[in-house]
Amino acid sequence: MIVVSVRTLLGAAEPDHSGAGIVLAAVSLVVMPVLSWAERRTGRELGSAPAVADSKQTPLCTCLSGALLVGLVAWRGDACCAPATVAPGQGAPGCTDGCCPSPDRH
């Protein structure tokens, strides 16, 4: 993944869909809250303030996983129509009717 990421950032390769990234983000979205709850419970049982404090940061990781999942799913469809890249009521350059042609139709 690192090699592909570096090649893409340097312009030597085109960005591609990431099925593995979507699966990993979805699994993380489900698993992180469970791990947070278990870490908080264990931290309290052991009287470990650092473990309890760390468990309170895990929900932020869950939110980031959710944002990543939304971004990856949007990219899998039409990237320039993703909410983060298009202002409400406007299409991105090259878009028609608020939707973008897929990269293979440019």
Predicted confidence at residue 68, as pLDDT, reads 86
In a domain, 92, yes or no: no
Rounded (10°) angle between helices 19-46 and 49-76: 170
How far apart are the C-alpha atoms of 21 and 10, rounded to whole Å? 20
Residue 93 belongs to some domain of the structure: no
Distance CA 92, CA 82 (A): 10
Check pLDDT > 80 for residue 43: yes
The answer to whether residue 99 is domain-embedded is no
| Residue 43 belongs to domain spanning | 2-79
**64-91 pLDDT, tens digit each:** 889 988 888 876 655 555 544 444 455 5
Residue 103, in any domain of the structure? no
Higher local confidence (pLDDT), 66 or 106: 66
Task: Count up the domains in the chain and report the number.
Answer: 1
